[in-house]
Amino acid sequence: MTMTESPPSEAAESTEPVAATPGAGLYDALTTSDHKAIGRIWLRLGLLLLLGVAVLGVLVALEGTSADGADVFGGVNAVWQMQGLYSVGLVLLVVPALTIGLATIVVPMQVGSSNIAFPRAAAAAAWGFVVGVAIMVVSVLAGGGWGALDGVSGGEADAIELTLLGMGMVAASILLACICLATTVVSLRTPGMGLMKTPLFAWSILVSASVWILTLPVLIANLIIIVVDLRGGPLLFGNPEGTTMIFDQVHWVLEQPAVFVLGIPVLGIIGSIVPVVAGARHIAHAGLMAAIGVAGLLAVGGWSQPAFSDQRDELLFVAFGLLAVVPVLASLALNSLTLAKAGPQVGLPPAQLLGALGAGLLLLLGTGAGALRVIGPFDLIGTGADAGVVHLVAYAAVVGLAAGMWFWASKIGGYALPNAAGLGVMLDFIGAAVLMGAAHVLIGFDFASGLNDAMAWVVFVGAILAVLGAVGVVSSVASAKRSGDEPGDDPWHGHTLEWATVTPVPAGNFVGALARVTSEAPLLDVAEQADSDEGGAS
Amino acid sequence: MTATARLPSPALRRPRTVLVGTLFASATAAMVYFGVLALYVSRRAEARLLGIEWFPEGVVELGPSGWIFWTLIMSSFTVQWAVQAIRNEDRPNAYVALGLTMLFGAAVFNQMWFILNDTGFALDASEAQFLFFVLNGTFITFLILAMAFLFLTALRAMFGQYSPRQNDGVPAAAMFWHTVAAMYWVTWIAVYVTK
């Protein structure tokens, strides 16, 4: 049996908290180097973006419901730009912001570190992301975007360059945050926590950060070439006045395999919640780590850009698409076996478990749809199935991240999120993902035009559910903050080190030194040791 | 029980945060650069398939680019010399090695500038010339970043930082330097040797 040499909880209780978490003022937010405050900046922005993108999704879906064009945006260029903003917003803004926010708060605690590596760089990444998003959104609203369908004026051509600059800033900010997070997991783990004893969420963040580090620079390379081309090159990527080639060159980052990176943290969140629900350690921690690692390998996507001829007909692309299902299936199977072996324990509200398992199943659907998409005879590439895969995977990530927010709420903000609202939020997002994902895939199959029209309305209903879910998350956080209920230091009897500290978490995270860790579930070791001592004494 | 019990406990291992962070940053930089290079190579292959001449004969010469190749190999040795010197607390040697590496960097910058002028290429003349400019411009940007990193490291060393136990900054700067050098070595083969 593995165990810690002395209980981390005792170490945590040995002294008083050093200082409270910095306040929420603008000056504090701008100058903070505390990972929790930086993470909250990402999370707030992520929730705001989720709300905005969900509303935009409703408008885009409404536009798609009419065969004649509902003309919601007032022109073919505007429709095309808003569709681009919606896709980019979902894949490059919402999910990364929420993922990085949750990870920036939880990962340092989970690995037993007092802070994130390079905290000032992490803060710069958060604010760089804010500026990048602002530039991108404003420039698209000014007529920019990723090219145009029927010609643009000179001012709009400038706005296109501004959009690309904003996109580059967003990518660079995500990369900077990834470097900070990956470095934290690699070099700031507490003594005794070897890489194979890393908690699954921290491991999944290391994997997804590494995948982003291998993928997003290729997007930046694309953007550099396109911007220089537009500024004075031979217009290799087409004249901005009447071309869609810019979007053609960068949309690979919104498609499989690159889009599967969004699902990797979901596997880590499931792996963190399930053993706590089961009240037992995973039956195969190393197997889950391997599954997450393989999922990461299959999500590296820079090679699949259309500039390298059309890779999408080639064996590697097909193999990546088909194999992506395997690690997700393996991860779900191992988590299910852990649950089945131990039997669910009472204590953890069902919202987290519903969210975690729902996210896992959505991810399975998403990778499954991706596998269908790469099978040549179905001829699904370039059809609605593209959007189907993106919706399933991106909303799997949103559901998983929402489950993570409910699970770690006490460590994020010192509050407890209401379970009933959580159930509603998870069901909303799961419903949204299933409706939008399945309807888009069916549109891709193009069975009949009447069915396609009906499916467009299904997408619209799904988009409305997504808005309800987003409103649910925001209102839950707001009401939890107002209620002032104290959730306690370890409300779920968690297994990993973030539950060894007090709530609200003080600056420096842990008061006193942590004991040497000897397994991936140090607090479970302590509980088992205590049970064993009690048994021996009686 | 034994003699080992009387030995002092080993010093706690310092987290090598700067080195690990630089490893990830170097991977990021390499992926940006190789992203541009991959596009260059794929467009060139496409042009060849269509029978389009990529560069006019004899314009891009192997000689000047070869000098950069060898200069960067020498610089990789000198930057590693600096790493070893700082580990041995041999500061004069470390300063000389860092200074030499930056000198080699300046020489590479000068030679790159010469190549860009010597070819007579224009940014908007053709796809080949445009991509040649972007590729070399990206390399020069990373070269400047690597030189700035080395300069800051040298300054910190001169002001008394780094010791045999705590010297992460110098190996980190060296790692980034090696990455930038590797960028050019690959480019030399992919762009200058196999035109």
Nearest-CA distance B71 → chain A (Å): 26
**Closest-CA residue in chain B for A188?**
B15
Q: How far apart are CA B94 and CA B78, in angstroms?
A: 9
| Other beta carbons within 10 Å of A368 | 17
**Closest-CA residue in chain B for A237?**
B127
Q: Which residues of chain A does B123 touch, with a Cβ-Cβ cutoff of 8 Å?
A: 228, 232-233
The whole-number pLDDT of residue B97 equals: 96
* 3-class SS string, chain B: CCHHHHCCCCCCCCCCHHHHHHHHHHHHHHHHHHHHHHHHHHHHHHHHHCCCCCCCCCCCCHHHHHHHHHHHHHHHHHHHHHHHHHHCCCHHHHHHHHHHHHHHHHHHHHHHHHHHHHHCCCCCCCHHHHHHHHHHHHHHHHHHHHHHHHHHHHHHHHCCCCCCCCCCHHHHHHHHHHHHHHHHHHHHHHHHHCC
The whole-number pLDDT of residue A236 equals: 75
- pLDDT band for B140, please (50, 70, 90 cuts): very high
Q: How far apart are CA A197 and CA A128, in angstroms?
A: 33
Q: Give the contacts of A517 (CB within 8 A, at least 6 positions apart).
A: A4, A8, A112, A190, A191, A192, A193, A197, A497
Q: Does B43 touch chain A (CB under 8 A)?
A: yes
Q: How far apart are CA A497 and CA A510, in angstroms?
A: 9
- DSSP assignment of A62-130, as one string? HHHH-TT---SSSSHHHHHHHHHHHHHIIIIIIHHHHHHHHHHHHHHHHTT-SS-SSHHHHHHHHHHHH
Nearest-CA distance A279 → chain B (Å): 33
Per-residue pLDDT for chain A (538 aa), expressed as one digit of tens each?
333 433 333 333 333 444 444 445 778 878 888 999 999 999 999 999 999 999 999 999 998 886 555 577 777 778 888 999 999 999 999 999 999 999 999 999 999 999 999 999 999 999 999 999 999 999 998 888 887 776 666 667 788 889 999 999 999 999 999 999 999 999 999 999 999 999 999 999 999 999 999 999 999 999 999 889 888 877 777 665 555 578 888 889 999 899 999 999 999 999 999 999 888 899 999 999 999 999 999 999 888 887 766 655 688 889 999 999 999 999 999 999 998 887 656 566 688 999 999 999 999 999 999 999 999 888 888 889 999 999 999 999 999 999 999 999 999 999 999 999 999 999 999 999 999 999 999 999 988 878 888 999 999 999 999 999 999 999 999 999 888 777 888 988 899 999 999 988 998 898 878 888 989 999 998 888 888 887 766 6
Instruction: Report whether A324 contacts A298 (CB < 8 A).
Output: yes
A182, A302, A309: residue with CB nearest B42: A309
Q: Which residues of chain B does A183 touch, with a Cβ-Cβ cutoff of 8 Å?
A: 17, 20-21, 24
**Closest-CA residue in chain B for A307?**
B39
Q: Which residues of chain A does B137 touch, with a Cβ-Cβ cutoff of 8 Å?
A: 228
- pLDDT band for B150, please (50, 70, 90 cuts): very high
Q: Which residues of chain B does A180 touch, with a Cβ-Cβ cutoff of 8 Å?
A: 21
The whole-number pLDDT of residue A17 equals: 42
Which residue, among B14, B17, B18, B23, would best test binding to A if mutated, counting the most A CBs under 10 Å from its CB?
Answer: B17
Q: Which residues of chain B does A188 touch, with a Cβ-Cβ cutoff of 8 Å?
A: 15, 17
Listed by number, the residues of chain B in 159-188 with a beta carbon closer than 8 Å to a beta carbon of chain A are none
pTM of the model: 0.92
Which residue, among B126, B129, B134, would best test binding to A if mutated, counting the most A CBs under 10 Å from its CB?
Answer: B134
What are the tens digits of pLDDT across the range B22-53? 999 999 999 999 999 999 999 899 888 888 88
The whole-number pLDDT of residue A68 equals: 55
CB contact under 8 Å between B28 and A175, yes or no, is yes
Higher-pLDDT residue of B194 and A391 is A391
The whole-number pLDDT of residue A522 equals: 92
The whole-number pLDDT of residue A241 equals: 56
Nearest-CA distance A485 → chain B (Å): 38
ipTM above 0.85, yes or no: yes
The whole-number pLDDT of residue A152 equals: 63
CB contact under 8 Å between B43 and A307, yes or no, is yes
Nearest-CA distance A195 → chain B (Å): 14
Higher-pLDDT residue of B14 and B59 is B59
The whole-number pLDDT of residue A22 equals: 45
| Other beta carbons within 10 Å of B137 | 15
Q: Which residues of chain A does B15 touch, with a Cβ-Cβ cutoff of 8 Å?
A: 187-188
What are the tens digits of pLDDT across the range B89-109? 899 999 999 999 999 999 999
The whole-number pLDDT of residue A300 equals: 92
The whole-number pLDDT of residue B84 equals: 95
Which residue, among A215, A225, A226, would best test binding to B if mutated, counting the most B CBs under 10 Å from its CB?
Answer: A225
